Amino acid sequence: MSELPSYRTLLMERRGRVLQIAFNRPDVLNAFGKVMHVEFIEALHFAASDPGSDVVVLTGAGRAFSAGGDLARMEECIADPREFEREAADAKRLIFALLDIEKPVVARVNGHAVGLGATIALLCDVIFAAETAKIGDPHVKVGLVAGDGGAIVWPQLLGFARAKEYLMTGELIPAPKAAEMGLVNHAVPDAELDARVEAFCRKLLDGSTMAIRWTKTTVNIELKRIAHALMDPGIAYESLTQRSEDHRNAVKAMKDRIAGRRA
């Protein structure tokens, strides 16, 4: 069995034939900075070829799944647009690395999943969310287009009208409502989250490994076709808004609010 790699921003462990990957920046609610982008892609590639696992679980350390984009990273990209170009390339690689894994990927949404965090959760195969968690894609609230995957997956789960409503407002959805709408598979009491995820993983492990993998692969063909069609224009539109005054003002206002709460 191959040794597990170590990362600065992720925790990885095996539990029998289950490989768990946890975002591990709890001090910033597991927001994605430059390093975590790259390390998560590497972790997905490892998971895809790992001979020691048949199911992958994604989760977050601490009280959030992932808050999405990191404020400090947004400031870096504003200061140097070439950094956003690198970020955009990583975003595309991340989405396709997640869609290409043949193994079933289960999202254990232990807390809020926001922006890119929501996209990652929703692109998993089955999503279990704690009842206290919320999920949403508030790119527009920081003056950005939801170009790094949100425009791909939300319409597939909710239909165009509902998806546009939530993507254009950035509203966060409580997990029970998200389950009712079909955005996530299950919203469960927080205390039952681990047991429910473990029970589902056991069900997968007891099934036909190849049949399960290739059923998922077949379903994902259409999702990957949509991703190929939308990722480049989505990133291009997001790039335009990344250079806008709206985005700069929104990031500054967010930074000021955080500073005010700490004062």
pLDDT in tens, 226-255: 999 999 999 999 999 999 999 999 999 988
94, 122 Cβ separation under 8 angstroms: no
Distance CA 244, CA 218 (A): 40
Tens of pLDDT, residues 144-153:
999 999 999 9
Instruction: Return the structure tokens found at 125.
Output: 């195969």
Distance CA 204, CA 56 (A): 11
Residue 90's SS3 state is: helix
Strands 134-136 and 173-174: antiparallel
Residue 261 pLDDT > 90: no
Start-to-end C-alpha separation, the chain? 50
Is this prediction's pTM over 0.95?
yes
Tens of pLDDT, residues 16-60:
999 999 999 999 999 999 999 999 999 999 999 999 999 999 999
Nearest to 171 by CA among 129, 115, 119, 126: 115
What residues does each domain of the chain span?
A: 10-262
Tens of pLDDT, residues 91-139:
999 999 999 999 999 999 999 999 999 999 999 999 999 999 999 999 9
Q: What pLDDT, on the 0 to 100 scale, is given for residue 88?
A: 87
Q: What pLDDT, on the 0 to 100 scale, is given for residue 78?
A: 92
Residues 6+ apart with CB under 8 A from 59: 20, 21, 22, 23, 65, 107, 108, 109, 110
Residues 6+ apart with CB under 8 A from 87: 34, 37, 73, 77
Q: What is the mean pLDDT of residues 181-203?
A: 98
How many of the other CB atoms lie within 10 Å of CB of 221? 9
104, 212 Cβ separation under 8 angstroms: yes
184, 127 Cβ separation under 8 angstroms: yes
Q: What is the mean pLDDT of residues 6-18?
A: 97
- The class of domain 10-262 in CATH terms is alpha beta
**Beta bridge partners of residue 173, listed in sequence order:** 135
Distance CA 117, CA 237 (A): 20
Residue 258 pLDDT > 90: no
